[in-house]
Structure 1
Amino acid sequence: MTLLPPDLDPELVDRLVGTGGGALCRKMGIEFLELSAERSVATMPVEGNTQVIGLLHGGAHVVLGESLGSISAAIHAGPGRYAVGIEINATHSRSITEGIVTGTCTALVLGRTLATHEIVMTDEAGRRLSTVRMTNMLRDR
């Protein structure tokens, strides 16, 4: 699947590997390349994720961003804890009609009860397409 940190919660690894990141990620063709609390990277094809006029759907940007932010926060939460998204926003800067989008998730705050990540989506030339910011609440099971 991807490059995973060696000390990752085995239950989280089983869920990630077993589901491929979840049904929506599989449907959208999201491929996780690197996962950690501090930095995660995934790709997604434009094809199959467009809106009616052929542009990558804005919601697809958010799905890629939320997938990366949620998994990164869950990794930070650690064993016996889980992450729940409580806020997300997106700014779309550039459209795209073909190719592969790369999402790079970077931790802004990794606290005991909250984790905030910024996820930047770029095209194959490295141009910023959108920026998503997500905050997760970290809870005990």
Structure 2
Amino acid sequence: MGEQQQVKFPQEVIDEYAALGVDLPALFSAGHLGTRMGVQILEASAERVVGTMPVEGNTQPYGLLHGGASAVLAETLGSVGSMLHGGSSKIAVGVDLNCTHHRGVRSGLVTGVATPVHRGRSTATYEIVITDEADKRVCTARLTCLLRDVRPGDGEQAAG
């Protein structure tokens, strides 16, 4: 996976955050783990985040999708939902991630769908269901994020 990929967001979400002075693609695409693993965001709102990740390049020694890769996809999608819920004055920081792996996958794309379980003022919890191309459940995850105020310097890593 030597080629740097960029995490993609729907244009309307990019435009909404750009109006607030936040460059979402830069924030999520500055050489971070989700980018290196090929995570692509297809749909993003506080109510639902959908993304994909290739199995190829994200496997364990037996050729199956690595459980940690599923965790990266789950945390990425849940964090995006939490961030969108919190708005531009908050950042979402994962504080608890639980993943149950149901079946192995050897090829293709997996798709994750994150939906809120709880959206409060200081925390947000999302359930993330990851399926294979046959729509069979691969992993069920739950992510809780702390929503904390933006501090000076937050996001500087994304800029450069």
The TM-score normalised by the length of structure 2 is: 0.81
Structure 2: unaligned runs, 5 residues or longer: 1-7, 151-160
1:97 to 73, 90, 106: 106
Bigger strand share: 1
- SS in structure 2 at match of 1:101: strand
Find runs of 4+ consecutive structure 1 residues off by over 6 angstroms.
Answer: none
Q: Structure 1: how far apart are the matches of 2:72 and 2:21?
A: 19
When residues 29 and 103 of structure 1 are mapped into structure 2, their CA distance, relative to the original with a 3 A threshold, is: same
Superposed CA RMSD in Å reads 1.8
Instruction: Provide the C-alpha distance between the structure 2 equivalents of 1:80 and 1:101, rounded to a whole number of angstroms.
Output: 32
Under a length normalisation based on structure 1, what TM-score does the superposition of the two structures give? 0.91
Q: Which residue, out of 2, 22, 44, partners 2:9?
A: 2
Q: Contact 1:31–1:43 (CA<8 Å) still a contact in 2?
A: yes
- Larger CA Rg, structure 1 vs 2: 2
Q: CA deviation at 1:5?
A: 3.8
Name the structure 1 match of 2:127. Answer: 118
1:17 to 11, 25, 49: 25
Q: Which amino acid in structure 2 is aligned with residue 17 of structure 1? A: P
Tell me the percent identity: 49
Query: CA distance change for structure 1 residues 112 and 8 in 2, over 3 Å: closer, same or farther?
Result: farther
CA contact 2:22–2:88 (8 Å) conserved in 1:
no
Structure 1: which 5+ runs fail to align?
none
Question: How many residues are aligned here?
Answer: 140
| Amino acid of the structure 2 residue aligned with 1:60 | A
How far does residue 114 in structure 1 lie from its aligned partner after superposition?
A: 1.0
